[in-house]
Amino acid sequence: MMNSFSQALPDLLAGIRTPRDLLEHCLVRIAERDGTVKAFVTLNIEGARAAADAATARYRAGAPLSMVDGCPVGIKDIMDTSDLPTQMGSPVYSGWQPRYDAACVHALRKGGAVIVGKTVTTAFATGATNQTTNPHDPARTPGGSSSGSAAAVGGGMLPVALGTQTQGSILRPASYCGAVGFKPTHGLLTMQGVHPISLTHDHLGAIGSTLDDTWRIVSHISLAQGAAGQPFLSGAGAVPPAAKRPRRLIRLYTKGWEPEVDPATRAAFEAVIDRLKAAGVEITSRETSQTVADLEAALDGGFTERSVDITAWEMKWPYEQYVRDHGPLLEQRIKDRVAHAAKMMPADYTRLLEEKRAMQARVRGVLEGSDGFITLAASSPAPVGHDQTGSRTFLLYASFLGIPAFSLPLMTVDGLPVGVQLIGAWGTDGDLCAVANWMMSATAKG
């Protein structure tokens, strides 16, 4: 059962409900579910109640601070919080207490949002797994690395939570947990106070119970804080841009379609494509366009490896020091990335960035005249087991290219959610959200 702040807002404004009521509903759901789901690392119930009471007083006075005043929010545990430890999902930071909030957390508090607690992450948001379970089936992974954020929202414990994505860490868990995930254009939301992996890949975003909740929280952070040298989020506001039917979408199969996608997920996605066509949306793909076929071949011709190489190089700080001082506490994949970077030369990194810029320009050209790419947000429902957090194949492209992407909970496969991924051109977040808004209302689950 989803838990939406935006849907409750009319009652808040009318005085029918209060922010304290919303918080207490969240706390009841957390008490009921989190013993199994394990979405939270730490909670600040006393602090959250104080913030909710302050928001309640403002609503009664007819003077809410912002579009997020009174909204309960979860914070991924790689983001600094002045009142709760920030432990990065790693024993290296066990018990570590920052003095100040990350910029995104500061923006939310300043707007009156109610910080409920810290949500579980894989180690440094790049580890293999953690203790969180899927809210739809505890035998399955919730995805990662924003595991706790997605599970808390998908389990009805919060309306929205912050996440980060370097390769697939917002959209994949949103897909597995049946929530809306949004990864804005790279750099539009500040990462100050968020532990880094790769400066050219790391994105701040959100996972919400509805498109409205997700857009609202991201918009507030953008307008309140922004990011140095970057424009604000296009179309930012308290409600998503008005729904707009796309004229043309480009379907991406990617190299994951044949080996990874099971028949039931294929059928569900084909049904979405058929409904889009029936609604008058032109679907272009590698089957109908040589330009798209050539682009897919180029994207699948080693760009996954390029993403890993760039990430490894940019992990030199601070991970070389972690390996030096805390090697036994680190997962092997982190040590492997640091070792890989040690074999690279500056010329290798320069070449990789040039290739990335060339591919970004190529994608921008292919998208001209279209309203975005459409593909899967995950290759299947959440896999059974907790020894890994699922495939990133369908998600690497938008992260590598730095372009905006949504995971929309438009499919059900074997009784479990799977997201549809919508990807846009750089800086077109508002236009992409308008298309997402239309798809959420025009494309029923199947």
- The pLDDT tens digits along the chain (446 residues) read 689 999 999 999 999 999 999 999 999 999 999 999 999 999 999 999 999 999 999 999 999 999 999 999 999 999 999 999 999 999 999 999 999 999 999 999 999 999 999 999 999 999 989 999 999 999 999 999 999 999 999 999 999 999 999 999 999 999 999 999 999 999 999 999 999 999 999 999 999 999 999 999 999 999 998 887 888 999 999 999 999 999 999 999 999 999 999 999 999 999 999 999 999 999 999 999 999 999 999 999 887 788 999 999 999 999 999 999 999 999 999 999 999 999 999 999 999 999 999 999 999 999 999 999 999 999 999 999 999 999 999 999 999 999 999 999 999 999 999 999 999 999 999 999 999 999 998 875 54
Residue in the structure block whose two tokens are 């969240």: 26
6 belongs to the catalytic site: no
Whole-structure pTM value: 0.98
Alpha-helix runs per DSSP H in 279-344: 290-299, 303-314, 316-326, 332-342
Contacts of 313 (CB under 8 A, 6+ apart): 341, 344, 348, 349, 352
- Residue-wise pLDDT for 295-338, tens only, equals 999 999 887 788 999 999 999 999 999 999 999 999 999 999 99
The DSSP call for residue 241 is P
Strand order in the sheet with 416-423: 40-43, 114-119, 72-76, 160-165, 203-208, 180-183, 405-413, 416-423, 373-376, 248-251, 282-284
Catalytic residue among 6, 146, 169, 391: 169
Catalytic residue among 76, 118, 183, 356: 76
- Residue-wise pLDDT for 13-57, tens only, equals 999 999 999 999 999 999 999 999 999 999 999 999 999 999 999
169 belongs to the catalytic site: yes
145 belongs to the catalytic site: yes
Cα–Cα separations (whole angstroms), residue 68 to 170, 224, 259: 21, 11, 42
Alpha-helix runs per DSSP H in 19-146: 19-37, 45-60, 103-110
Q: How far is residue 280's CA from residue 274's CA, in Å, rounded to a whole number?
A: 10
Quote helix, strand, coil % in the chain, to nearest 5. Answer: 45, 15, 40
Alpha-helix runs per DSSP H in 97-162: 103-110, 147-154
DSSP-assigned beta bridge partners for residue 186: none
Q: Is the peptide bond before 318 cis (omega within 30 degrees of 0)?
A: yes
Catalytic residue among 145, 175, 307, 379: 145
